[in-house]
A and B are shown apart, each in its own frame.
Chain A
Amino acid sequence: MNTATDPDKITGPTPDNALRAADASDKKDGPVLAADGTPLKKSLGRALRAQKLRALAMIAPLLIFVVLTFIAPIFDMLFRSVENQIVSDTLPRTTQALKDWDDTSGQVPGDDVFEAAYIDIFYAAENKMHTRLGTRLNYELTGVSSLFRKSGRGLDDIGEVYKDQFEDLDENWDEAEPWAELMGSDAWLAEARAWEDGQPLPKFELREGIAEVLPRTADAYSQFAAFTRVEEEDNVFNEEPWTLVHTMLYEDLAAGDVSGYTGPRADMLIAADALVDSPEFETADLKAVFEDIDKDWMDPVVWQTIKMYSPDYTSGYFLNSVDMQKTPDGPALRDEDERIYGILFKRTMFMSLVITFSCIALSYPVAFLLSNLPARTANLLMILVLLPFWTSLLVRTSAWKVMLQQQGVINDVLVWIGLIADDNRLVMINNQLGTIIAMTHILLPFMILPMYSVMSTIPPYYVRAAKSLGATNWTAFWRVYFPQSVPGIGAGSILVFILAIGYYITPEIVGGTTGTFISNRIAYHISSSLNWGLAAALGTILLAVVLILYWAYDKIVGIDNVKLGG
């Protein structure tokens, strides 16, 4: 980088140099002044600022493009590795109630938690969020998926118990209008009555004072009203409330006294209160209903899992991606037969290194030859190097399949010339060897090109001079030529290694079971299991490993020693 075009190294009169000179003289004998009397530094700064802004404006389109289409999506994706709001968003009351529960006790949480879960899952089921949450938690605990799916259906039964009894007492409890009159404000009722199809639906308002008399019912009914208006786009006035509202009404009536209430439908409410207080009134035992839906609800592990994943951000995905898991007693290693990512990370690193070294070994002679041939022949050979570049990756990989398989070309030839027996054909594919061979071939041009461009700038007379001074061929090469070609090797190695680490199509096709990389698992979690959080965590780790290796490479080899060209 020390050429004459480097702005910092130009020795002539440039604005930058003038600024530096002004800086230096400032320290010695006060500010240097420009012709108009302002300090030179200031006026230069002004002149330079315009220049820098112009430069920035020129790269701005590219910068904005890269930030918007590359950096922002990557960060968005990586951010998913810790994101976990879905649990607390879907089960806000349950996660709150679980805070007081001791998850190491081995006991199922108390009734308050079950009530919170009933309300949360009921709302979630109406919004079709419960199955989404089930899928999320199923990544952590097998079986939660169907647990939530079943519970979304089954929890209606609780409300039915109360609804039926209220209905037997007074049919109005099963009608839309009496409920609306009980819960809604007069202004809203007037608007809702006058509403016709096509008009915007009036926004629901609670009747004044009803929230004090029936706090839970009012809350549930408001939720129902908002859902009906926004999601279903129906008039609340004409819709029967959810069974959850009936359950909440029972709870309010059991807990409080409504005799002082005088609003519309007060008689209906007071009669219901009397019914609830009577000994015949049948109540539903929440725990029993949950147990009835699925006995897994009586397993403390389910609640532990919900509690463990209630924070908005979780380390769970990262722990998963290093073969660990969250437990109530802190992170712990997974069972031996479930550890896979450690093996895959190590394998990815090891095989990428092997591929990089075999690329170096194969490319060096080719690049050497190319740079020492006359231009015409070199160009012809260059086309041969570039040819694979222009062929589809899938075609090249499939071609290797045809070559390497047991009934393939290479084995057939070896059998034909008698080197191996027909029943003892070599296994060269669907294993590590297959991946190494195919990927080395595919990545070869990325090694040859930087090597070639560096080697072609090494003047031939250095080697000649060495020889004329008595060096043998080997010494001349090793002591004179090779050190000058190292920057090309460095550049090629970085390219090949980083490309290899993220490859997944080729290992998927020719890798079998022992030749696949971590990227194959990332692809699996992105496209098959939909566990994007885990995929993001694995990707983040991979990115971090590459950055660390790059840093180490800079420390050891020095990034100044990498050249992509003369």
Chain B
Amino acid sequence: MKITKTLMASTALTVAATGAMAQDMADSMTLVSWGGAYQNSQQEAYVVPYLEMHPEVSVSWDESSNEAVAKLRAMNEAGNVTWDLVDVVASDAIRLCDEGLAMEIDHDEVLAQGDDGSDASDDFGDLIVSDCYIPQIVYSTTFGYRTDLVPEGAEAPSDICSVFDLETYPGKRALEKRPINNMEWALLCDGVAKDDVYDVLETEEGQDQALAKLDTIKDDVIWWSAGADTPQLLADGEVFMGSTYNGRLYSAIVEQDQPIGMMWDAQVFDLDGWIIPADLPEERLARVMDFVKFATDTQRLADQAKYISYGPARSSSAPKVPEDMKMHMPTDPANAGNTFLYNYEFWADYRDDIDAKFQAWLAQ
């Protein structure tokens, strides 16, 4: 009799406890990402295992990351933020943080430790470029070229300056329709040392110098605005070489078997990661925190690399990346011989100014 009572009491307690837990966390989440293969890798590596542990949760995706900043601002002004976790590139995360649209977090408190026991802030290291940002992957913007269109007698391009070398490598180039990266590459190939690029670009003469260099190939450039454009243009043979995200080139080469080669020289590293919108209701916040802690732990980030060729942002995840993917990672030593670091602070300041000049230059 007494035992039954105790049992019953403890069962009641457990029920109450789980009831309270469930109450504290919302059971649905809206995640925002980029769609395509990348979102799929997140679904497979983070969401599927999470849902196995929490079958009561439902997750919906919104493929709005490319206009996340504007939409989040509009939602915030309307006072109805429907997103719970948003995948953005680092520069957008900085802006969202500046605008007070993203929540500042304490990385050591919110995120799991690395499986080697290191604190999250050490494990992510310098990649935490903003107090609001939880990095997931390192990707790079780099060049792909048509292996079958390399002129006879010439070697396959392996130097960033072959982009500007129309004599050796005739044919069109695909470049992104914005100044970021293009200006840096132009200066690098106009004799500016890597460490001085941003100092030069700060000055008006430096900007003119970069545009003048770009002018030499302007007539042979097709300007893209969506990441999928370049692989398509390469596949159609419209361009000889073009810049895009390395994961896009990976899927064109490995999955679609296109005659495309990678030119890793002067690849520009950039980050992609989560931000949590500011001022979420408590229950939703609790759920998101729970999810994000799980989804950014060492194993999950390493798992993601099975599905897409982007490097995990935690250093403790690197050894767990599958062997056959390592050679496609932008961070692989064989590929990272000459890399270029994107300067977030510089572009946060100069973006509007240089973009105006760049667009005026394009329109001429």
Residue numbers of A with Cβ under 8 A of B are 128-129, 131-132, 134-135, 138-139, 142-146, 149, 337-340, 343-344, 347, 405-408, 430, 508, 512-514, 516, 521, 526-531
Contacts and interface: CB of A to CB of B under 8 A. Distances in A.
B352 A139 contact: yes
Given A138-B352, A142-B352, A340-B356, A132 B100 contact: yes
A508 B229 CA distance: 12
Given A131-B99, A340-B356, A530 B223 contact: no
Interface stretch (B18-26, B66-74, B113-121, B319-327): B66-74
B22 to A, nearest CB: 23
B30 to A, nearest CB: 19
B356 A145 contact: no
A516 B98 CA distance: 31
Interface string B345-362: 100111111011101111
Contact of A405 (B99, B225, B236, B355): B236
Given A129-B100, A337-B360, A405-B238, A527 B70 contact: yes
B279 to A, nearest CB: 12
Given A138-B352, A146-B349, A513-B363, A337 B357 contact: yes
Contacts of A134: 98
Contact of A337 (B100, B237, B345, B361): B361
A139 B98 CA distance: 14
| 5 shortest interchain CB distances as A-B pairs | A131-B98, A142-B353, A513-B362, A527-B70, A340-B360
B320 to A, nearest CB: 36
Contacts of B353: 142
B344 to A, nearest CB: 10
Given A145-B349, A339-B360, 20 more contacts: A129-B100, A131-B98, A132-B100, A138-B348, A138-B349, A139-B352, A143-B349, A143-B350, A145-B98, A146-B349, A337-B360, A340-B360, A340-B363, A405-B238, A430-B222, A513-B223, A513-B363, A527-B66, A530-B70, A531-B352
Nearest to A323: B360
B266 interface: no
Interface residues of B, number: 35
Contacts of B69: 527-528, 530
Nearest to A513: B362
B293 interface: no
Contacts of A343: 360, 363-364
Contacts of A508: 225
Contact of B70 (A132, A337, A521, A526): A526
A138 B346 CA distance: 12
B18 to A, nearest CB: 24
5 contacts: A142-B353, A143-B350, A344-B363, A430-B222, A512-B223
B329 interface: no
A287 to B, nearest CB: 23
B95 interface: yes
Given A142-B349, A514-B363, A135 B357 contact: no
B97 interface: yes
Contact of B237 (A135, A407, A430): A407
B182 to A, nearest CB: 13
A427 B277 CA distance: 45
Interface string B206-224: 0010000000000000110
Nearest to B355: A529
A522 B310 CA distance: 33
B102 to A, nearest CB: 11
Contacts of B70: 526-528, 530
Given A340-B359, A405-B236, A529 B222 contact: no
Contacts of B236: 405, 407-408
Contacts of B73: 530
Given A132-B99, A407-B236, A527-B70, A338 B352 contact: no
Nearest to B354: A142
A529 B351 contact: yes
A145 B66 CA distance: 22
Contacts of A337: 208, 357, 360-361
A131 B350 contact: no
Contacts of A146: 345, 348-349
A526 B99 CA distance: 15
A135 B98 contact: yes
B98 A132 contact: yes
Contacts of B98: 131-132, 134-135, 145, 149
Nearest to B351: A529
Nearest to A529: B352
A479 to B, nearest CB: 45
A63 B277 CA distance: 35
Given A134-B98, A142-B349, A146-B349, A338 B356 contact: yes
Nearest to B70: A527
A521 B359 contact: yes
Given A135-B95, A513-B363, A526-B70, A338 B100 contact: no
Of the listed residues B73, B225, B350, B356, the one surrounded by the most CB atoms of chain A closer than 10 A to its CB is B356
Nearest to B177: A513
Contacts of B362: 513
Contacts of B349: 138, 142-146
A134 B99 CA distance: 9
Interface string B187-227: 00000000000000000000010000000000000110100
A134 B97 CA distance: 12
A132 B76 CA distance: 14
Contacts of B97: 131
A341 to B, nearest CB: 9
Contacts of B351: 529
A308 to B, nearest CB: 17
A135 to B, nearest CB: 6
A311 B360 CA distance: 30
Nearest to B225: A508
Contacts of B348: 138, 145-146
Interface in B46-97: 66-67, 69-70, 73, 95, 97
B135 to A, nearest CB: 20
A360 B323 CA distance: 62
Nearest to B345: A146
A400 to B, nearest CB: 14
Nearest to A133: B98
Given A142-B350, A337-B357, A530 B363 contact: no
